[in-house]
Amino acid sequence: MMQLPHDPVVAIVGATGAVGREMLAILEERAFPARSLRLFASPRSAGMRIPFRGGSVVVESLDSGAAIEGIHLALFSAGKGISKEWGPRFREAGTLVVDNSSAFRADPACPLVVPEVNPHALEAVRSPAIIANPNCSTIIALVAVTPLHRALGVERMVAATYQAASGAGAAAMAELESQARAFAAGTPLDTTIFGRQYLFNVFSHNSAVGDDGSNEEERKLLTETRRMWESDAVRVAATCVRVPTLRAHAEAIHLEFARATSEGEIRALLAAAPGVRVVDDRAANRFPEPLDAAGGDDVLVGRIRMDQSVPGARGAALFVCGDQIRKGAALNAIQIAERFLPASSPTRASAPATGAAHAALTAR
C-alpha cells in the first residue's frame, strides 16, 4: 500500500461548500499532519480567505491556470463534473485523490471504501490513485449493518431514508432556513433549489428517476452495498425521501439474515461495532434523532427489534441516524486518507484491522 509523507501537502477541491468546510474543520480537529493546505473552488470564490489553524488560507480558482504540482493528497467535493475533469489530472500529477462525488464509484480501478466496512480494498493502492467515497446514505447504513452482515449474513435489506437538506449542499440548507424565516414573516418562500416548498413537507429524493421507477439514490444503496460487500447476492430495496431537517440523515432499515438470531445477539454486535453508538431507551422513548447525530462522528442506532414479518427469527429492524456531511462525506474521506499516513503518525485511524475485517466479510 502506498504511503503519504508524514506531513503531506493537502488540497481541498470544493473548499467553500458544505462538505469542503467540514473537511477543513475535521483536519483541524484530528490534527491531520498537513504541511500546508491548498484550497480550490470556483472562480467565484477566488481570493476568499478561509480560517485554518489560527491563520487563514486563500481560496484559489480551479481553472486552466491552476498549478496542481506538489500536492500529495487532494480531497474532492465539488461535484461529479469537476471530479471527472480534475481527478485524473491530480492523479497524473502524483496526487492521491479521495473523491466525494459519484464520478468514480463504479470504476473498478477506483476502490470504493468505508474504513469500518472494507478497509482491505485500500491495500491494492500502490501509487497515486482515485479512491471513491460512497454515497452518504450507503455509508450511514453500512456502518451499522456490516457488523451484522459479517456475523449473520444479510440476505435482504429494505431501507427507507429520511434525508436532510445538507445532503444537497450549502445552498439547500440556506434555502430551508430562509423558508422558515419567510414562513414566520408571512412572505413568499424562495424555492430555487428544489422547486417546491421544503418546509413542513416531505418529497421523493431529487435525483433522477429511472425506467424501473427507482431514483439514483435508491439504486446507489444497492450497487454500492454489493460492491463493498463483494457479493451480488444481497437483495436491496430502498425508498429515499427528503425531510425538512437541516443536517443528518435518518434511515429505517429492515434486514433478513441467513440464520436465526436474537435481539440480544444483535444488540451485542452493534455495541461492539466501530463507528456505531447505540441509542435505544425504550422506557424514555429516546432513539436516534438527526439533531443528536448532527456534528458527531458516530452513526446512532436504535429501535433495535426483531422483524416479526420474517419467519424463523431471521429478521431485524433498526433506525439509524448519521451526520452525512461528516461520516457520510468529509469524515469518511479523511479516515481513508489517514490510512495512507505512516504507521507512526499519531493521527493514524484506529479502525478495525484490515485482514480480520476482510476475512469476516468474504466468509459470507
Ligand X SMILES: NC(=O)c1ccc[n+]([C@@H]2O[C@H](COP(=O)([O-])OP(=O)(O)OC[C@H]3O[C@@H](n4cnc5c(N)ncnc54)[C@H](OP(=O)(O)O)[C@@H]3O)[C@@H](O)[C@H]2O)c1
| Binding stretches for ligand X (CB under 6 A) | 14-20, 40-42, 44-45, 62, 77-80, 82, 100-101, 136, 166-167, 169-171, 324-325, 328-329
Is 249 known to be catalytic? yes
The grid cell for 359 is 476475512
Q: How far apart are CA 222 and CA 237, in angstroms?
A: 7
Task: Give the DSSP per-residue string, 231-299.
Answer: -S--EEEEEEEE-S-SS-EEEEEEEEESS---HHHHHHHHHT-TTEEE--BTTTTB---HHHHTT-SSE
- Hey, what's the torsion of the CAs at 41, 44, 49, 52, to 10 degrees? -20
Nearer to ligand X, 42 or 345 (CB): 42
The residues pairing with 41 across neighbouring beta strands, listed in sequence order, are 61
CB of 322 to ligand X, least distance (A): 10
Q: How far apart are CA 135 and CA 146, in angstroms?
A: 15
Q: How far apart are CA 113 and CA 42, in angstroms?
A: 27
CB of 103 to ligand X, least distance (A): 8
CB of 342 to ligand X, least distance (A): 28
Nearer to ligand X, 47 or 312 (CB): 47
Strands (E), the chain: 9-13, 36-41, 49-52, 55-61, 73-76, 96-99, 130-132, 154-163, 203-204, 235-242, 249-257, 276-278, 299-306, 315-322
Nearer to ligand X, 62 or 301 (CB): 62
Nearer to ligand X, 255 or 334 (CB): 334
Nearer to ligand X, 18 or 357 (CB): 18
CB of 120 to ligand X, least distance (A): 23
Question: Computed over its alpha carbons, how large is the radius of gyration of the chain?
Answer: 20
Q: What is the DSSP letter of 334?
A: H
Q: What share of the chain is helix, strand, coil (3-state, %, to 5)?
A: 35, 25, 45
Set 120, 205, 249, 321: catalytic member: 249
Nearer to ligand X, 288 or 328 (CB): 328
CB of 283 within 8 A of CB of 202? Answer: no
CB of 50 to ligand X, least distance (A): 10
Is 136 known to be catalytic? yes
CB of 173 to ligand X, least distance (A): 8
The grid cell for 140 is 450511514
Set 110, 136, 240, 321: catalytic member: 136
- Catalytically active residues are 136, 249
